Amino acid sequence: MEGRNELIEYFKAYPELEIRDIFKFLFQSIFGCEHIALSERSVVAKIEEEAASFFGNGDKEVTSLIGDYSRISLSVLNTGITPQTLGRLVCLSAKHGKKGSEDELEKRLFEVKELILSGKLPFEINEFEEQAEKWRESGFAPLHHSDLYREKYKPAYRLASNAYIPFLPLFARLDTLLSNGRVILAIEGGSASGKTTLASLLKELYGAAVFHADDYFLQPHQRTKERLSEIGGNLDRERLKEEILIPLSQNGEVRFRRYDCQSGRLLAPKSVTTAPLTVIEGAYSLHPELRGFYDITVFLDIDKELQKARVTARNGEMAHRFFDEWIPLEDIYFKELDIKKKADIIIKIGE
């Protein structure tokens, strides 16, 4: 039934749609933003132009397609997300999104045919096959919505990769905060929840300066019995404060030293140019001694089964150390210090 339920739900939501609109739904599901070749400036300008006359059309903020893409209604701009951020998400989706194939599209067309033959989609099979063949002969060219669909539903949306959809509430908060000045964000979450991936996205999306808690492992001389018995004591939070958080709070220069696990020593200091958005990501970054330095905090709440699968795939022979040592310590830290509930935004990962 893969894809069939989405097609049926799409028809239920837009019962006046025509075969052409089904084709557009399939095209967007398979190819997403792949065909977009415009500059970010032109994408943003078009969103701004369209938003100026957009008064809402009843669409959900996000409509899932089949596969790896969703439609984001321009109503999402009312949550605080700026046209610039939405435009960048579209362009990043075009740059990084999954590349579809005509074979996949043919499979989806076959599913539509089956739904028509079973009476679950109210189209004439001959008309469908005739239009499908014409579309095929065009090389499956991109399509506009039908005139009836545009008149009835007034579509106003942009496509984006599903990888970005869970973070829309975070983008909305960040855009609002950034409109008033510099922002320091902390990203916390369990192992393999996507903290580093989200930080990399924010660097690409906002030009954020990113610092990693993994660079602040305890040095050998700090790993005393007393320190390791502390809840959340695994992070050298004192050095993180001294080198990064205090200078940031004073708008000063940031010079930091990465801890190199292989050599067991601190590397040479590096200077980092500050940016409107600074991101601190990693386990233990929301320790109570650090929380007061942040303007906004986010917790990535990963499903345990997904976490297990990700750690196994990512860490191979070292995965057992995560399951036996590090994840249990994280879980104690999260529970005893109430880390998740105290975050400003909680994002479910894998549900």
User: In this structure, what token pair is assigned to residue 168?
Assistant: 């829309």
pTM summary value? 0.93
Closest-CA residue to 213 (of 192, 187, 194, 180): 187
* CA 34 vs CA 40, 191, 314: distances in Å: 14, 32, 28
The distance in angstroms from the start CA to the end CA of the chain is: 20
Residue environment code for 109-118, b if the CB has 16+ CB neighbours within 10 A, otherwise e: bebbbebbee
- Taking 70 as the pLDDT cut, the residues of the chain under it are 1-3, 35-38, 351
* CA 190 vs CA 163, 187, 210, 281, 303: distances in Å: 18, 10, 19, 11, 10
pLDDT of residue 253: 86
pLDDT tens per residue across span 227-237 = 999 999 999 99
pLDDT of residue 2: 60
Length of the chain: 351
E strand or H helix that includes residue 18: none
What does the domain layout of the chain look like in residue ranges? 4-163, 166-349
Radius of gyration of the chain (CA): 24
Question: What is the CATH number assigned to the segment(s) 166-349?
Answer: 3.40.50.300
Residue 73's CB is within 10 A of a number of other CB atoms, namely: 20
